[in-house]
Amino acid sequence: MRLRDYFWAFIPLFFATAPAATADDPPTPFSQAVTALTGDWEAEDWREGGLKLHPSIYTWQSDVHITFYAEEPAAGRDALSVAKLYFEGYDLGDDTLDPTLVSMRGAKELAPGILMVSYNWNYAYDDNVSQFGVITTKAGSFIPFRTNCERDDPDRQDEYRLELCIKKIITLMLAVQGAGTPEVSGKLQLPLPPSPVSIPGWTMSYMSDGTSVASSSNSFGTTRGSIMISSPRNIPEEQLPQAIMQFSEGLRDDVQDEGESVRPTAKWVGTTADPWLRREFPHDTYDQDDPPIIMAGSIRLPDGRIALAGTRCPNKNWLKSCSDGIEQAKLQVKSGIAEFRQKAIVAATLRPLPTDGIRDAQIAGIYTRGRNSVGYGGYMTGYTIDNFLLLKDGSFCDCVEAPFAFINPARDRPKNPGEWGKWSRQGNKIALRWDGGETDMIEVDGKNLMVGGTAATRINGYFRHVSGGGNQAFGGASGYLNQSSYTFFADGTFATDSSSSFMMGGGTMADGPDVVGGSSSGGTRGRYEIDGYTMTLTYPDGRVSHVAFAQYAHEMSGSKRDWIMINGTLYFHDDDE
């Protein structure tokens, strides 16, 4: 039986009773909807531009899955052209097929509006059945997807059977398409991706100034590419070349490109109406044969605004991937879907704090215990081993990772008994008794009590938190380093960034921006407000973030603070910045 016919054979069966769901911890609303529909599947969060759904018995690394990519408008294209852009040339890594690259040439419709191509392929001990294709929704937009099931192996009792895998995949396809019977149609609405621009295969982050950043690396982390797309704005024509030139500077990797010591060549390419700046580095400055190539240009919207776009392509072998990423970004910006997503991302943050959580008047204070400092590749990382939130009713919890308004003791304590207990003061000690029966003690030394602030509280200076792991943290040659930082100003503004660096063999390689951030102390700033134990951060693009805040009580009399706490993480004041 042909694979396409094999799929068709199961379409009438996809409403059969499914096994009971396995708990997803913690389930997102979308994952809950997936489980309600299938009985035993769940959804991960966005990873590398894709949303992976898989049986609950497996982890996010599951080989049994359907991965949906961000929904995008037709923009004058058909489903086949979208499928080619996403999957043509994808390497299966098969042990037996030659060639192992996916081609959409043989794509056919599984069902109306579901175009796909199928492959049987083998890798190590896995006998795989994969599909690559595009779903056309009732609204006329496209949802690219890829799936994988494993053929039944009588020697494996733990595998998810092929028949059941296909049945669940068909259910999920029809649910996001808005087709099929009423029991399925429209039951799943894909959540928005975390960045206005979403590029499959690339890790997306969204900077505080509205810039979308895509990053990708090889399996060793030694070769990395990046793509950046700015928010659209009005740029006078005479200023556009200079704006593109400045934007291209932001695409440099200061570690690999040796900062200012090595200057790339610059050459204008493209057309007068659509100029792009191509920059290449000298071959003799790189160990690899082909040095990186930086391309920067602009994307014009129908209303005349311009978004700046560019890529740092690590070598010529990456040119197709970098070019495809830029083309997808162009389509999303020009069609307006990127701006739609941006507005939705901002709007999702404009929610008031809950009213049924812990109020400041109920808090006796936060005590920290066991500050530690570790030298790490020229950095000093400071953190607290324990943070305890003490309430005036005699209870305490280890739960300072979010604004306290989100914590409801009556609701949360029974669910997380390992985080809660009772406390009592005994001279210069605080005795703790956890709900599970264990006991603990805090030494009160006059310098480990943290309290909130007021609307008049101002924080000055550069604060950062650095953490690491792997062998490097203990003197070895490999490991990783994560850093996040905030710069606060007396006028109530702030700037923030967050980055990760990977170290292998003693070399440091910047991995690019991560999560919210991206403005330096000299760039566009956001605003911060402090109200008790809550700090509200309003970013330049309009997003609002509420975080738990605390400062050491013994530092409140002066203007300088050596440490502050943000969402349970202790940031130290770096005098060198």
pLDDT by residue (tens digit) across 304-314?
999 999 999 98
The pLDDT mean for the chain works out to: 82
pLDDT by residue (tens digit) across 399-431?
999 999 999 999 999 988 889 999 999 999 999
Residue 182 pLDDT exceeds 80: no
pLDDT by residue (tens digit) across 439-468?
999 999 989 999 999 999 999 999 988 775
pLDDT band at 398 (very low <50, low <70, confident <90, very high): very high
Contact 481, 466 (CB under 8 A): yes
Is-above-0.75 flag for pTM?
no
**What is the domain partition of the chain in residue ranges?**
3-177, 203-349, 353-577
Opening angle at CA 336, ends 334 and 338, nearest 5? 95
pLDDT mean over 263-283: 86
Please give the CATH architecture assigned to the domain spanning 3-177: 3-Layer(aba) Sandwich (3.40)
Lowest mean pLDDT among 255-269, 314-328, 462-476, 559-573: 462-476
**In whole angstroms, what is the distance from residue 176 CA to residue 143 CA?**
8
Residue 506 pLDDT exceeds 60: no
With a pLDDT cut of 90, the percent of the chain lying above it is: 47
pLDDT by residue (tens digit) across 45-73?
998 889 999 999 999 889 899 999 998 88
Q: For residue 259, what pLDDT is reported?
A: 53
pLDDT by residue (tens digit) across 194-239?
899 999 889 888 888 889 999 988 877 678 899 999 999 999 999 9
Reading the block at residue 566, the tokens are 């943000």
pLDDT by residue (tens digit) across 513-564?
223 344 433 457 899 999 999 999 998 888 999 999 999 999 987 778 999 9
